[in-house]
Amino acid sequence: MTETTDTSPGWLTRTDLDEVRGRLPIVYVNAVPVRVDESGSVTSVGLLLGVSPDGSISRSLVSGRVLYHERIRDALLRHLEKDLGPVALPQVPASPQPFTVAEYFPTPGVTPFHDPRQHAVSLAYVVPVTGDCRPRQDALDIVWLSPEEAAGPGVAQEMSGGQDVLLRQALAHAGLAP
Using alpha carbons, select from 150, 145, 129, 43 the residue that is nearest to residue 80.
Answer: 129
CA–CA separation, 37 and 35 (whole Å): 7
- Rounded to the nearest 10 degrees, how much is the dihedral formed by the CA atoms of 89, 86, 30, 121? -130
CA–CA separation, 26 and 17 (whole Å): 10
Q: Spell out the per-residue pLDDT of the chain, length 178, in tens.
A: 444 444 455 677 888 878 887 888 999 999 999 999 999 999 999 999 998 878 888 999 999 999 989 999 999 999 999 999 999 999 998 899 999 999 999 999 999 999 998 999 999 999 999 999 998 777 899 999 999 999 999 999 999 999 999 999 999 999 997 5
**Distance spanning both ends of the chain, measured CA to CA:** 59
CA–CA separation, 77 and 90 (whole Å): 7
